[in-house]
Amino acid sequence: MTNFVQLILNLLIFPGGLFAVALGLFLMGIDRKIAARLQRRVGPPVYQPFIDLVKLTRKEMVVPGTAHLQAFWLAPLLGFAGMMAAVTLIPIAGVYQGFKYSGDLLVLLYLLALPAIALMIGGSASSSPFGAVGFSREMVMMMSYELPLLVVLVTIALKVGLATGGIATFSLSEIVQFQLENGALLFDYTMLPALLAFLVFIPGNMGVVPFDIPEAETEIVEGPILEYSGTGLALFKLMTSLKMIVVLGLAIALFFPTPLGKNFLVNLLWFFLKCLVLMVIAITIVRTSTGRVRMDQAFKFYLRYPTVLALISLVLTLLQR
Amino acid sequence: MSTYTIPVGPLHVALEEPMYFRVQVEGETVVGLDITAGYVHRGMESLVMQRNIYQNITLTERLCSLCSNNHPCTYCMALEKIAGIEVPERAQYLRVIADEIKRIASNLFNAGILAHIIGFDSLFMHVMEIREIVQDTKETIYGNRMDLAVNCIGGVRYDLSDEKIKYIRKQIDRLKKPLEEIIDIYMNNKFVRARTEGVGVLPKEEAVRYGVVGPVARGSGIDYDVRVKSPYAAYDKIKVNVHVENGSDVRARAIVRLREIQEAVNIIELCLKELPDGPTCIDHLPEIPAGEAIAKSEAPRGELIYYLRTNGSDKPERLKWRVPTYMNWEALNVMMPGNKVADIPLIITSIDPCISCTER
């Protein structure tokens, strides 16, 4: 019974639920502020995402007359719920263990696909032509960034699995445990290409410039989420901020989970710092220094560079054995 | 693959003004285009005939925001032709200065919007920051950031003191270095190039067939500029280097606009150097006899033509103008097909459409 209560608490309060939402929104606020300073603007206050969220939840949600009602409602809920579940799978070294379940990395991989699928469902259910274009773009985008991600995950699973005597381990907690004992993978030269591939995967998955193609504001007016307002839009925003925590947290768990000490709060702060640095590198700087690429260009890019980088790591790992 | 229609407009984030494009799309490729106009029709052609000749100077200035100086300037030129008024030389130079300052602001604005549309918001902010120098200059010299209210019949309504000349020189100098930088970015930045090169191609033959004007024509290799072909104001005394690009695509048009900014900077410097002494305006309110005249000028978007007929009364009998966008937007039918949906707003922006003066 305590296990069950613990699970619910993990899901709703910490590290999922309230905590993750607050952290995600806060990180987004910082991201906006830094981006603004980089563009020599003043920028909104750091708490702006919270204000936006409260404002959106108090607004009416308008459903287009031609939309498929159930699917239109289902999409944001699906995306949000999927990300809520995903956050609980992310271990924070020295703070939170994650699930001691041998396949949580695979579950996470599937859960990570949910936001894109939710956007696709929402886009096509909204019956707007922009939503339809957004649908197809989201799908192509997903296909392009999922492959390098998969190769990176397999590489790390193999690396840890081979080192611990098995073949491959798809357990995040084991991967973290391995790194706590043998040093972070960040400092392993064979993993550097994989790390680079993962860094390139982050802006694609987060849908920021230059890979915000499915939601390109000036091209297809936000695409799938064009018709969303009020609560639906708020859920999508929450989904994005949670996704940020999941993606950044996953990167930290995979490459640099090392805690700072034994103190719970210090470790939590350390995790936040790592998230912040990673976000600035992989999201804020990238999105302020580039322009949006076209779908075909993005697809070619992802098949070419990150996939090759990830494969190099895979080969190096296998050779090292 | 099935064909479907994407509505771009009448209100669309990427369009500055209301304009309705129904774009037929196959997959992600544009196959056809249907332009619907008339969302900002204000009946101005009728309005000018109900107001007197002097009031119309103010009215024509409010036709459009970005090329607001060219309209009253061309209108005054048409009136001066009918009445046979000789504009003082100093006024002609001052008209050129006002014209070129507006050109810099307009072209920088378009360059900024291009960056915004390809999602390069940092570049957009940077360009707008540079444009602010020009806006400050306008505000200081003319008292306004958009409508300069420079022209009157037989001259201009402002004069430049030595102090003001020094100020403009200083501001123009401040423009030069950042201009070099952004031209380098627009020409060489990978992301800008990837999105603008080979997009929205308008071959030279088609450009001639559609009779496009301004930077759109010059981006397609047509060496046509009213300032050179039929000089007005002081342009006959000033050498204007017309920049022509042969790329025929969005990039070529953007580069033509940016190079024109550099040229405008040179022209202003030259004008300030050679500014003759004398009156800035004729010393009486002229009588306008019955007659008709055509006047042309080079607006930031291309050739602007005014036709004016008067009947000796204080109201014009007919005033008709042909604006550059009217010639350019039909060419979208050639530029669009074959491009991706992602490029639609980009191509529309590349002709720098000014809907409010086209639909007046």
ipTM summary value: 0.77
A221/B contact by beta carbon, under 8 A = yes
Over 80: is that where the pLDDT of B222 sits? Answer: yes
Number of compact structural domains in chain A: 1
- Chain A: residue whose CA lies nearest to B125: A39
CA distances from B134 to A198, B19, B176, B302, B350 (A): 44, 28, 12, 21, 22
Give residue B1's pLDDT band: very low, low, confident or very high (50, 70, 90).
low
Q: What percent of chain A has pLDDT over 70?
A: 97
Collect all residues with Cβ–Cβ distance below 8 Å to B207 and sequence separation of at least 6: B216, B217, B220, B221, B222, B248, B331
Token output for B11: 């209100």
A289/B contact by beta carbon, under 8 A = yes
Token output for B103: 């050109």
Over 70: is that where the pLDDT of A1 sits? Answer: no
| Greatest CA separation for chain A | 60
Nearest to B191 among A39, A210, A220 (CB): A210
Nearest to A291 among B4, B12, B195 (CB): B195
Average pLDDT over residues A269-275: 87
> pLDDT tens digits, residue range B69-118?
889 999 999 988 888 888 888 888 998 999 899 999 999 999 998 888 88
- Which of residues B68 and A163 earns the better pLDDT score? B68
Do A67 and A127 contact (CB within 8 A), yes or no?
yes
Instruction: List CB contacts (< 8 A) between B195 and chain A.
Output: 291-294
> pLDDT tens digits, residue range B202-214?
888 888 898 899 8
> pLDDT tens digits, residue range B125-139?
889 989 999 999 999
Per the document, the length of chain A is: 321
Collect all residues with Cβ–Cβ distance below 8 Å to B22 and sequence separation of at least 6: B5, B6, B7, B8, B33, B34, B36
Instruction: List CB contacts (< 8 A) between A215 and chain B.
Output: none
Mean pLDDT of chain B: 87
Token output for A73: 């409602």
- What dihedral do alpha carbons B186, B227, B69, B166 form, nearest 10°? 80
Peptide bond into A148 cis (omega under 30): no
Q: What percent of chain B has pLDDT over 90?
A: 11
**Domain, as residue range, for A289:** 2-320
- Chain B: residue whose CA lies nearest to A129: B6
Question: Would you say the C-alpha torsion A180, A186, A188, A191 has a positive or negative sign?
Answer: positive
- What dihedral do alpha carbons B233, B238, B243, B244 form, nearest 10°? 70
Over 70: is that where the pLDDT of B318 sits? Answer: yes
Answer whether B123 sits within 8 Å of A291, measured CB to CB: yes
Do B157 and B281 contact (CB within 8 A), yes or no?
yes
Residue B85 CB-density burial (10 A; 0-12 exposed, 13-18 middle, 19+ buried): middle
**What three-state secondary structure class fits A92?**
strand
Report the C-alpha gap between A296 and A317 in whole angstroms. Answer: 31
Average pLDDT over residues A47-53: 91
Residue A290 has phi, psi (to 5 degrees) of: -135, 165
**Range with lowest mean pLDDT among A25-34, A93-102, A183-192, B301-310:** A93-102
Peptide bond into A224 cis (omega under 30): no
Give residue A254's pLDDT band: very low, low, confident or very high (50, 70, 90).
confident
**Range with lowest mean pLDDT among A100-104, B166-170, B226-230:** A100-104
pLDDT value at residue B315: 87
B42-334: CATH architecture: Orthogonal Bundle (1.10)
Report the C-alpha gap between A72 and A107 in whole angstroms. Answer: 25
Collect all residues with Cβ–Cβ distance below 8 Å to A300 and sequence separation of at least 6: none
Answer whether A293 sits within 8 Å of B28, measured CB to CB: no
